[in-house]
Structure 1
Amino acid sequence: MPKATAPAAPASYEAAQQELEQLVARIEAGQLPLDEMLAGYQRAAFLLDFCRARLQAVQAQIQVLDEGMAHAWTAQ
């Protein structure tokens, strides 16, 4: 049995979002044979996880920045 390789990560959040939108459109349109639909669904799930992780990372960074700004304002 061949060893499964890790899915290729998208270059950016925006690239993942665009690929995800295209996959969803193809799946919804019924343009894919069953095997390709399953692979598309798996890729879509991977892309969705990637997007969620990026959003959470950005939210965490914003929270740190907000806390830093709040401390800076109260120190004045």
Structure 2
Amino acid sequence: MPKAKTKAVSEISTPPESYELALAELEELAVAMESGQLPLGEMMQGYRRASFLLEFCRQQLDTVEAQIRALDEGQIKQWSQD
């Protein structure tokens, strides 16, 4: 069974390089957490990291949605993933 990498508290809130990497890490965390073989401390760290990654993904999607709305309204703006 896959085992989630234990992350230091400072690493829990380190943003991933991209939306796609965030999704891949979320999937890895979900598999590890669903296995039921993680110690409680690692499970809690995984939950905290997953919560951070979910918020990161929501922000990325909100940014893209705003850009699409701007394009639909004829207001082309510079888009960045930052």
| TM-score bracket relative to the smaller structure | 0.7 to 0.9
User: Counterpart of 1:63?
Assistant: 69
User: Counterpart of 2:26?
Assistant: 20
Q: How far does the alpha carbon of each residue in 1:31-53 deviate from its partner, in whole angstroms, 9 at most, with x for none?
A: 21100000000000000000011
Note the residue ranges of structure 2 that are not aligned, 5 or more in a row.
Answer: 1-8, 76-82
Identity of matched residues, %: 55
TM-score, normalised to structure 2's length?
A: 0.75
Please state which structure has a larger fraction of its residues in helix.
1
**Equivalences for residues 17-56 of structure 1 within 5 A:** 17-56=23-62
How many residue pairs were aligned?
A: 66
TM-score, normalised to structure 1's length?
A: 0.81
After TM superposition, the runs of 4+ consecutive aligned structure 1 residues lying more than 6 A away are: none
